[in-house]
Amino acid sequence: MRLEGKVAIISGGARGMGAAEAKLFAREGAKVIICDVLEDEGRQTEAEINEVGGDAVFVKLDVTSQDEWENAVNTAIERFGKLDILVNNAGIIVQSTIEDMTVELWDKVMDVNAKGVFLGTKTAIPHMKEAGGGSIVNISSISGIVGQDYVNAGYNASKGAVRIFTKAAAVQYAKENIRVNSIHPGPIATPMTAEGRADPERVALTAERTPLGRYGEPEEVANAVLFLASDEASYVTGSEIVVDGGYTAQ
């Protein structure tokens, strides 16, 4: 198993990509702390993992709260004795033009998508240093690499922040054997994209703009996260993996 003996925290782990990551990590031998504000769905994912022999625990986490981050990390330490992997997966997306976007909405997007990654990383690093190293995987987006005419610019900005924060953290903590990398999904079939996928014109446009001609599946992102979290990526830090069906290659 590729994560045998590892302990992992996954934010936004209740559903979508986060749940796919949690289930894959558990199958590969990791002890998993599923963190989310969605308690019912988080506990369902916890149960699904444990029912098939995995080892998972759900912890309620608002990623904008430093106190709740400290509780999540302390749960990992108290329950499993260490922390090897952090996946900063939690995120939100909103629909608004720049001129119509309120300051409050801008702050909300930046708080969840960017500050949440900062707080998770900040809280995890001391324990990873104690363990002799670790792997942090930040879920950004292709929206952190390119501008898009149908995406809220605040979302682009927040995911761009995740991208460059990842590189800075990787450089600053490499000597501590802490690797920090980012994943940049394109259009993925998750609850977050459900509204757009209900519009046949939007689905057709996505297929047209994506060389592979379809939305990706959460498991296809999870496979890339697994690689970066595992020791197979021991010489990979400050890098980004784009999982977008070729969207940004054009």
Q: What are the pLDDT digits (tens) for 169-180?
A: 999 999 999 999
Do the Cβ atoms of 124 and 83 come closer than 8 Å?
yes
Predicted confidence at residue 8, as pLDDT, reads: 98
Average pLDDT over the chain, rounded to an integer: 97
Predicted confidence at residue 150, as pLDDT, reads: 85
- State the Cα–Cα distance between residues 43 and 32, nearest whole angstrom: 12
Q: 214 by DSSP, 3-state: which?
A: coil
- Over 90: is that where the pLDDT of 142 sits? yes
Q: Which helix (H) or strand (E) is 11 found in, with range?
A: strand 7-11
Annotated active-site residue 235? The verdict is: no
7-244 is a CATH 3.40.50.2300 domain: no
Whole-structure pTM over 0.85, yes or no? Answer: yes
- Over 90: is that where the pLDDT of 162 sits? yes
What's the average model confidence in pLDDT over 124-147? 97
- Over 90: is that where the pLDDT of 12 sits? yes
Predicted confidence at residue 236, as pLDDT, reads: 98
Predicted confidence at residue 202, as pLDDT, reads: 87
Residue 75 to residues 10, 72, 203, 235, Cα–Cα distance (Å): 13, 5, 41, 29
83-130 per-position pLDDT tens digit: 999 999 999 999 899 999 999 999 999 999 999 999 999 999 999 999
**For residue 196, what pLDDT band results from cuts at 50, 70 and 90?**
confident
Measured over the CA atoms of residue 9, residue 12, residue 14 and residue 15, the dihedral's sign is negative
Predicted confidence at residue 194, as pLDDT, reads: 85
16-65 per-position pLDDT tens digit: 999 999 999 999 999 999 999 999 999 999 999 999 999 999 999 999 99
Do the Cβ atoms of 30 and 8 come closer than 8 Å?
yes
Q: 232 by DSSP, 3-state: which?
A: helix
Buried b (16+ CB within 10 A) or exposed e, 146-182: eeeeebbbbbbbbbbbbbebbbebbeebeeeebbbbb
What are the tokens at 205?
């446009």
Predicted confidence at residue 113, as pLDDT, reads: 98
Predicted confidence at residue 122, as pLDDT, reads: 98
Predicted confidence at residue 114, as pLDDT, reads: 98
Q: One of 155, 173, 215, 247 is an active-site residue; which one?
A: 155
Tokens 């590189």 locate to: 167
Beta strands 85-88 and 134-139: pairing type?
A: parallel
Share of the chain above pLDDT 70, in %: 100
What's the average model confidence in pLDDT over 149-157? 93
